[in-house]
Amino acid sequence: MLSKHITHQTSKNSNTFIYSTMARPTPASSMRNEHWMFDDAMNERIRSTHTPDGRVVDVTQVLQVTRNVLRHIIPNINLSMNGHIDASDDQTNLSAVDGALDALHKICCELSCKCSRGGDAHATTMAIFNMLSSYSWGAKVVLTLAAFAVNFGEFWLIAQLCTSNPLAKSVALLKQPDISEHSQTLKSHFDALSKLINAMFDVTKCIVELTQLHSSKYISIGEPPLSTAMAHIHTATYWIIASVVACTGQITGIIGMRHVFPIPTLEAWELSSLAHKVCSIHEHLQSGLRLCYERIDEKKLMEAFEHFKRTIETPQVDNLKILQNIFGKEENLLNPDRAEVCINVLRRKHVLLLISDLYISQEEIRVLEDVYKERVSSGLNYEIIWLPIVDRTTWNDDYDQEKFSKLQSIMSWYTVSQHVAIEPAVIKYIRGEWGFVKKPIAVTLSPQGKVLCPNALNMMWIWGNSAFPFSSEKEESFWKATPWTLDLLVGRLEPNLPTWVSQQKLVCFYGGVKMEWIESFTTATKAVAEALGIGIEMVYVGKKNASERVKKITGLIKEKELSRAWEENNVWFFWNLLESMLYSKNQHGKTIENDVIKQEVMTMLGYDSSKNGWAVFYTGSGGMVKANGEKVLSTMDKFDEWKNLAKQMGFVPALREKLEGAIPRHHCTRLILPSNGGRIPERVQCAECGRPMELNFLYRCCAE
């Protein structure tokens, strides 16, 4: 490490520290060497003076008064008190620290006496250490800084009043020169002094904070990061006391100059050099404090998390305690009419916690609103509360607040009154236990506060209010009674389906965004239907996350009269319905090996993720058959090869048999699923060949 040799030089009028640095072998250490650190011998000398006897000094009060003294002397100085040290005013009652004030007066005398005589600055520093041996590190620096403020304050009072107060003028004639006449000459000197005082105050606050952390139950003095932060507190204390001695020496130097001006620039430079050293110490301590507070915040967060976890997993009389834990100090919500109401209005009600970030889509809000409004006609009594999950550290008061307010305005259910209403520990629970990442979820709470389902949005999308009370048991029972049919896919979106089936028409739903394929496919398919003499209805259902392209293609399809085409809202709901089915199945632990519906849904989503189109055919008697765009178009173009089979078996069975024998030698199938809290299927089969698919990660910024 670097060994610091401290000597002193006494000019005619002032004490001055001169710091020289001599390199020596560096012992193994994880900390980089700083120019303010000492060798082992010096460290031991300082520590040997520290024998605290447990006395308690309210250093915060003394530090506050010291701050106010220094701010009156140097108005532009930045002596802020942060949130970890309470601020007060000049009316502070210091009776509680009477014992410490005796020590403060002794330090004042030591500084005045030794510095005015041009004594050894290092010896004066160590003398103060010995004088304060019984005090904590924080008390040492605060009392020493306060003593300097007393001496500096007396000097400044006389300097300020000597032109208007006869007594002050007489004292000034006997004690110190009139510095007002030399303000420009002394400017650089006082600028350097101001910078050093500011740095001293910053380091003093850090030392006080570190010593106060000893009493925290969330951090241990014997373990990092507090033990690391405290490792050099004795060195920091030394430099504060040494800086006070240096500043006092400069003040007494000005007094001793009388009419000999200007102040040598060397002395101003030495103050600046010392300020740089103290600033470096402040950065070091501030870094350690930051790590300490991060550790404390982590422990507090974990404690609050465990408390909320116990509360929500413990049977309750009603749901009020759960809701109060979610919102913490926030007792009020905004009701659907945007009036502020107490959270008690939701007591003993079924409540859905709608959890999302600020990027929940208007389509999701619209669909949920339809279900929510239908509850009245269905005779159901439940409420929805929106819980926005936002990053407080990156919150933008302009952009994010506008987005938050806009979402509030279009929601017809209960919302929080402000974006920070949800407790951080609850957000941690929501992410960790309920699996929220980005895709909205709705957690169901019973009137007794029991979690009925960690995400009821899936069943609400699939079955609407018939799934009430939106419990996992209800969802499971619905799946047991639900077969894989076209009605499950499009029954809520295509009102003409029952009519087409009763008319024994061939029904085709298809998707994709390649207009050339769409024209070829629709033309070929209608030609096949005509050749077989059967009626056909074709419906274009677009593509997931491609609204602009789908709009354009829908317009062309209608213009060329190729087929029917769904409007944008139905297209969005269709693809989200498929995803909801998949996530619902995942939530119940279903796999493609033991669940036909999940297998079929993943095949459909796989078709959409590929670059080509796809199609599903259905007849009331022949069931369903599906294929990707390339295979189905090729099969339609080769209709002559299976025409007779179609006439014998029917269109759908014949097409199924033909497709099963038409696996191409090369294919590339993709399946893109949104991130959903880590609930990704472990094994996915290819929709074309049945082989296991590789898992890759795709990061996408633009949905288009």
pLDDT, tens digit (0-9, with 9 covering 90-100), for 486-538 = 889 998 899 999 999 999 999 999 999 999 999 999 999 999 999 999 999 99
Give the Å distances, CA to CA, from 76 to 68, 170, 181, 197, 246: 12, 29, 21, 12, 22
**Cα dihedral 103, 108, 113, 114 in deg (nearest 10):** 80
Nearest partner of 680 among 611, 583, 612, judged by Cα: 583
Residue 238, both tokens: 């030394």
- DSSP assignment of 127-143: HHHHHTTTS-HHHHHHH
Q: State the pLDDT at residue 164.
A: 75
* Residue 10 pLDDT grade (very low, low, confident, very high; cuts 50, 70, 90): very low
Give the Å distances, CA to CA, from 381 to 180, 345, 415, 645: 79, 13, 18, 55
φ and ψ at residue 18, rounded to 5 degrees: -120, 125
Q: What is the pLDDT of residues 634-665, one digit of tens each?
A: 999 999 999 999 999 899 999 999 988 765 55
Nearest partner of 334 among 407, 263, 267, judged by Cα: 407
* Residue 594 pLDDT grade (very low, low, confident, very high; cuts 50, 70, 90): confident
3-state secondary structure at position 237: helix
* Beta partners for residue 600, in sequence order: none
3-state secondary structure at position 382: strand
Give the Å distances, CA to CA, from 33 to 44, 146, 557, 657: 18, 31, 73, 78
Distinct helix (H) and strand (E) counts, the chain: 25, 14
- Is the separation of the CB atoms in 291 and 211 below 8 Å? no
* Residue 112 pLDDT grade (very low, low, confident, very high; cuts 50, 70, 90): confident
d(CA 73, CA 158): 12
DSSP state of 544: T
* Beta partners for residue 443, in sequence order: 353
Question: 374: how many CB neighbours lie within 10 A of its CB?
Answer: 12
d(CA 226, CA 416): 38
Nearest partner of 144 among 127, 120, 159, judged by Cα: 127
- DSSP assignment of 244-297: HHHHHHHHHHHHHHTT--SPPHHHHHHHHHHHHHHHHHHHHHHHHHHHHHHHHH
All structural domains of the chain? 40-81+97-300 (no CATH), 319-481 (3.40.30.10), 486-693 (no CATH)
- Where does residue 293 rank: exposed (0-12), middle (13-18), buried (19+ CB within 10 A)? middle
Residue-averaged pLDDT of the chain: 83
Q: State the pLDDT at residue 17.
A: 36
Q: What is the pLDDT of residues 443-470, one digit of tens each?
A: 999 999 999 999 999 999 999 999 999 9
In this prediction, residues 686-697 reach a mean pLDDT of 67
C-alpha triplet 397, 398, 404: angle, nearest 5°: 80
First and final C-alpha spacing in the chain: 58
In this prediction, residues 337-366 reach a mean pLDDT of 93
d(CA 199, CA 433): 46
Tell me, yes or no, if the pTM score tops 0.85: no
Nearest partner of 573 among 443, 441, 462, judged by Cα: 462
Q: State the pLDDT at residue 28.
A: 32
- DSSP assignment of 106-121: HHHHHHHHHHHTT--H
- Is the separation of the CB atoms in 694 and 626 below 8 Å? no
- When mean pLDDT is compared over 89-98, 154-163, 414-423, the highest value belongs to 414-423
What is the edge-to-edge ordering of all strands in the sheet holding 506-511?
Answer: 564-565, 536-540, 506-511, 614-619, 623-628
d(CA 347, CA 414): 14
* Residue 32 pLDDT grade (very low, low, confident, very high; cuts 50, 70, 90): very low
d(CA 87, CA 80): 9
Q: Which secondary-structure segment (H or E) carries 7?
A: strand 2-10
Residue 694, both tokens: 């590789």
- Is the separation of the CB atoms in 703 and 545 below 8 Å? yes
Q: What is the pLDDT of residues 538-549, one digit of tens each?
A: 999 999 888 899
* 384 has a pLDDT exceeding 80: yes
- Is the separation of the CB atoms in 581 and 479 below 8 Å? no
Q: State the pLDDT at residue 634.
A: 92
Residue 356, both tokens: 């999302």
* 30 has a pLDDT exceeding 60: no
Question: 32: how many CB neighbours lie within 10 A of its CB?
Answer: 9
Q: State the pLDDT at residue 417.
A: 87
Residue 189, both tokens: 């000197």
- Is the separation of the CB atoms in 654 and 531 below 8 Å? no
Question: 557: how many CB neighbours lie within 10 A of its CB?
Answer: 19
Q: Is the peptide bond before 469 cis (omega within 30 degrees of 0)?
A: yes
- Where does residue 278 rank: exposed (0-12), middle (13-18), buried (19+ CB within 10 A)? buried
DSSP state of 612: S
